[in-house]
């Protein structure tokens, strides 16, 4: 196990994210996103699944060529089933990158092996050994994922990990493919692997969590505390079904809770909001308004008591500033729950300082309007000033 506290951010927005409903992206959108993910500071960028289609292959190859072209660029990887043709396609697609990786996987739970792959445990072990070794002939950096690891018999998982490491895997990713795990079980699985698998302490262990029970981020953090040093995640938490662990939530957790999570990473926090917005522009849905970190309401205060507190000292109701994640918009939302203080503050921002009496008149008009209108915009507030002049004249 690495003694370093550096956590590697492996971004799978363009692979696990992109393969989910409503998230397909065209070649140019993928390239634009890949440039932005590099600016965000991700360490490993899973650019796609090269064998999946000609378009996917071209996207991975162009990202490798155009985004992965310097020593400071992210490592570019492509997913590949543990099959010769997949590994060859992945190797060819990532080949132009300065730093590349092949990420190969095979299901190892009895359920998946019987229902999906129709192979025995022995056949799986043989295939893993052969295909990891094949990937290693193309690149030094090979990641292996036993798909459905969290529902794999632990005794068999130990053997799987041993074979993958012996064949040359440098990263071992143990995915919670179906989002079934709870944090203590996920952490225990990694501790068991570190304890029992020869060589596990000398490679990077990785967490890949799905959010079916809303625990993807909690599970990833539990894994880090158990010794994992790579987290796989996606912007806005997109990914299969309920999605992957949200990159921005993991990064914010490491920033805000340094006291309990003393780990470092390369994410440039001020690029978070821009990256989220760019993704929204590329796919067919945005983050829910109440989504942590990047939702429209994540830094918005509508209740009068909260607005008063935040105007006096943002720390009263904010655990991080909106600027720290690159959001420059308003945090005070005016509506029927807003108080006099919030209205006065917004008017001052718009260049109008009112006397006590004037503010009382305008506030009365404001509450009247807010009872009828759900969202109050700056132009509505400015219109209330005309009302003030009429009222005062």
Given the rule CB under 5 A, which residues bind Zn ion?
Answer: 16
What residues from 8 to 37 belong to the interface with ligand KIV (CB under 6 A)?
16
334: left (phi over 0), alpha (psi -120 to 50) or beta: beta
Could you tell me which stretch among 59-67, 170-178, 271-279, 307-315 binds ligand KIV (CB under 6 A)?
Answer: 170-178
Per-residue string for binding with ligand KIV, 68-87, x by CB under 6 A?
Answer: -----------x--------
Question: Smallest gap, in angstroms, from Cβ of residue 146 to ligand KIV?
Answer: 9
Q: Which stretch binds ligand KIV (CB under 6 A): 2-10, 50-58, 169-177, 334-342?
A: 169-177
What phi and psi, each to the nearest 5 degrees, are found at residue 105?
-145, 155
> Which residue in 29, 86, 147, 344 binds ligand KIV (CB under 6 A)?
147
Give the nearer residue to Zn ion in terms of CB position, either 129 or 243: 243
In the complex, what is the shortest distance from the CB of residue 288 to ligand KIV, in angstroms, rounded to a whole number?
22
Q: Pick the closer one to ligand KIV by CB: 200 or 359.
A: 200
CB-nearer residue toward ligand KIV: 67 or 216: 216
**φ, ψ (nearest 5 deg) of residue 264:** -110, 160
3-state SS string for the chain: CCCCCECEEEECHHHHHCCCCCCCCCHHHHHHHHHHHHHHCCCEEEEECCCCCHHHHHHHHHHHHHCCCCCCCCEEEEEEECCHHHHHHHHHHHCCCCCEEEEEEEECCHHHHHHHHCCCHHHHHHHHHHHHHHHHHHCCCEEEEEECHHHCCHHHHHHHHHHHHHCCCCEEEEEECCCCCCHHHHHHHHHHHHHHCCCHHHCEEEEEEECCCCCHHHHHHHHHHCCCCEEEEEHHHCCCCCCECEHHHHHHHHHHCCCCCCCECCCCHHHHHHHHHHHHHHCCCCCCCCCCCCCCCCCCECCHHHHHHHHHCHHHCCCCCCHHHCCCCCCECCCCCCCHHHHHHHHHHCCCCCCHHHHHHHHHHHHHHHHHCCCCCHHHHHHHHHHHHHHHC
Give least dist CB 145 to ligand KIV, A.
4
105 binds, among Zn ion, ligand KIV, none (CB under 5 to 8 A by kind): ligand KIV
Report, in Å, the least distance between residue 145 CB and Zn ion. Answer: 9
φ and ψ of 352, to 5 deg: -125, 115
Q: Per-residue x/- mask for ligand KIV, residues 286 to 325, rule CB under 6 A?
A: ----------------------------------------
What residues from 242 to 281 belong to the interface with ligand KIV (CB under 6 A)? Answer: none
177 binds ligand KIV (CB under 6 A): yes
With binding defined as CB under 6 A, does residue 56 bind ligand KIV? Answer: no
Q: Shortest approach of Zn ion to residue 15 CB, angstroms?
A: 8
Q: Pick from Zn ion, ligand KIV, none: which does 216 bind, CB < 5 to 8 A by kind?
A: none
If one asks whether residue 144 binds ligand KIV (CB under 6 A), the answer comes out as: no
Which part of the chain contacts ligand KIV (CB under 6 A), choosing from 171-179, 249-257, 264-272, 290-298? 171-179
Query: Minimum distance between the CB of residue 125 and Zn ion, rounded to whole angstroms?
Result: 22
Considering beta carbons, is residue 210 or 322 the nearer one to ligand KIV?
210
Closest Cα partner for 168 from 197, 193, 196, 143? Answer: 143
Q: How far is the CB of 16 from ligand KIV (least distance, A)?
A: 5
Token code pair at residue 373: 């209108």
Residues 96-115, one symbol each (x = binds ligand KIV by CB under 6 A, - = not), give: ---------x----------
Smaller CB separation from ligand KIV, 37 or 343: 37
- Contacts for 150 with CB less than 8 Å, ≥ 6 apart: 174, 175, 176, 177, 178, 180, 181, 185, 186, 189
**134, 138, 136, 131: which is closest to 146 by C-alpha?**
131
Residue 8 Cβ, how far from ligand KIV at the closest point, in Å? 15
Only one of the segments 131-139, 172-180, 266-274, 281-289 lies at the binding site for ligand KIV (rule: CB under 6 A); that segment is 172-180
Residue nearest to Zn ion (CB): 16
Interface residues with ligand KIV (CB under 6 A) are 16, 79, 105, 145, 147, 173, 175, 177, 208, 210
């Amino acid at each position: 196990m690495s003694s370093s506290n550096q956590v590697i951010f492996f971004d799978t927005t363009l692979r696990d994210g992109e393969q989910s409903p409503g998230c397909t992206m065209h070649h140019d959108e993928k390239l634009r996103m890949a440039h932005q993910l590099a600016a965000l500071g991700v360490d490993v960028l899973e650019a796609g699944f090269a064998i999946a289609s000609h378009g996917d292959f071209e996207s991975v190859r162009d990202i490798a060529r155009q985004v992965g072209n310097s020593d400071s660029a992210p490592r570019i990887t492509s997913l590949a089933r543990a099959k010769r043709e997949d590994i060859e396609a992945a190797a060819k697609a990532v080949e132009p990158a300065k730093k590349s990786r092949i990420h190969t996987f095979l299901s190892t739970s009895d359920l998946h092996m019987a229902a999906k792959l129709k192979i025995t445990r022995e056949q799986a072990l043989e295939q893993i050994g052969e295909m990891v070794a094949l990937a290693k002939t193309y690149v030094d950096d090979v990641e292996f994922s036993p798909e459905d690891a969290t529902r794999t018999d632990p005794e068999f998982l130990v053997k799987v990990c041993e074979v993958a490491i012996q064949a040359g895997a440098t990263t071992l990713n143990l995915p919670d493919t179906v989002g079934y795990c709870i944090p203590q079980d996920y952490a225990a699985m990694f501790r068991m692997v570190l304890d029992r698998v020869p060589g596990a302490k000398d490679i990077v262990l990785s967490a890949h969590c799905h959010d079916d029970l809303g625990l993807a981020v909690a599970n990833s953090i539990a894994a880090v505390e158990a010794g994992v040093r790579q987290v796989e995640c996606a912007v806005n938490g997109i990914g299969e079904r309920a999605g992957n662990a949200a990159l921005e939530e993991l990064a914010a957790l490491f920033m805000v809770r340094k006291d309990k999570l003393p780990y470092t990473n390369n994410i440039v926090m001020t690029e978070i909001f821009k990256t989220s917005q760019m993704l929204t522009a590329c796919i067919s849905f945005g983050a829910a308004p109440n989504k942590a970190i990047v939702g429209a309401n994540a830094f918005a205060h509508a209740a009068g008591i909260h607005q008063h507190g935040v105007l006096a000292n943002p720390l009263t109701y904010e655990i991080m500033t909106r600027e720290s994640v690159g959001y420059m918009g308003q945090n005070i939302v005016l509506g029927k729950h807003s108080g006099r203080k919030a209205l006065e503050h917004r008017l001052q921002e718009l260049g109008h300082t009112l006397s006590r009496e004037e503010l009382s008149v305008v506030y009365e008009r404001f509450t009247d309007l807010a009872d009828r209108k759900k969202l109050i915009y700056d132009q509505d507030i400015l219109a209330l000033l005309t009302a003030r002049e009429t009222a005062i004249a």
